[in-house]
Amino acid sequence: MQANREQAADVLFAAATAAKLTGFLVTPIADSPSSTTPPETRRVDDCLPAGVTIARLAPGDEHVVLAAGELFDAPPSRQWTARFLSSQGHHLLVARDQDGAVVGFVSGVQTTHPDKGTEMFLYELSVAVLYRKRGIGRALVDALANLARDLDCHGMWVGSEPDNAAAIATIAPQAPHVPRRS
């Protein structure tokens, strides 16, 4: 089973490379038939700087997203934010500083496929410029992985552009078995 999983990872990596993507990671996050060794579970608060906390948003928290608009690629809309937060299988976690300001976020979407079961797709990760290189991005990824594990997802994956060094540096250590470009 593990050999099939590694072959699938190789195929996905090759497809991502052909599509000019890199860092396409498939990593087991829970004991499952496709995982021979249980993954490490890091405590999220071990990665965070003092005073920074992570919270999972829910319907009614649209104002939190709208106030953190500079972290997104484009200003979030109230309607789309409400829809995202109320959609089953859609998750948004935010990192807040000691003053309660949102300094980062990660979004994930559960995907289910007939031959793969349910996995978590790490859709987007962002950390405010002044808070980068402090472990917040990695802690957000860990928090999403922990949530995925709690939801019985058996893996988590992400795609990234080849020139996105920050994303690759943040996410690559989470999946040491994934093939790398040579």
For 69-88, the pLDDT digits (tens) are 999 999 999 999 999 999 99
Question: 33-68, pLDDT tens digit by residue?
Answer: 333 333 344 456 666 888 899 999 999 999 999 999
* pLDDT, average across residues 133-151: 90
The structure tokens listed for 73 are 């690629």
Q: What angle do CA 104, 105, 106 make, to 5 degrees?
A: 145
Residue 150: DSSP 8-state: H
Confidence of residue 5 (pLDDT cuts 50, 70, 90): very low
CA proximity to 154, closest of 118, 122, 123: 118
**pLDDT, tens only, 23-37:** 344 444 544 333 333
The pLDDT score that the predictor gives to residue 161 is 73
Q: Are 25 and 157 in contact (CB under 8 A)?
A: yes
Contacts 24+ apart (CB under 8 A), 107-111: 108/144, 108/147, 108/148, 108/156, 110/148, 110/151, 110/153
Map out the domains of the chain as residue ranges.
Answer: 2-174
What does the pLDDT read at residue 43? 52
Per-residue buried b or exposed e for 142-169, using 16+ beta carbons within 10 Å of the residue's own CB: bbbbbbbbeeebbbbbbbbeeeeeebbe
The pLDDT of residue 170 is above 80: no
Is 177 a residue whose pLDDT tops 60? Answer: no
pLDDT at residue 155 tops 90: no
CA 143, CA 21: separation in Å to the nearest integer? 24
Average pLDDT over residues 143-171: 80
pLDDT at 60: 97
* pLDDT band, very low/low/confident/very high, at 15 (cuts 50, 70, 90): very low
pLDDT band for position 20 (cuts 50, 70, 90): very low
How far, in Å, are 41, 82, 163, 176 from residue 169 at the CA level? 19, 31, 11, 12
The domain made up of 2-174 is a member of CATH 3.40.630.30: yes
- Residue 50: the pLDDT is 85
Rounded Cα distance, 67 and 56, in Å: 16
Q: Any idea which of 20-24, 163-167, 174-178 has the lowest mean pLDDT? A: 20-24
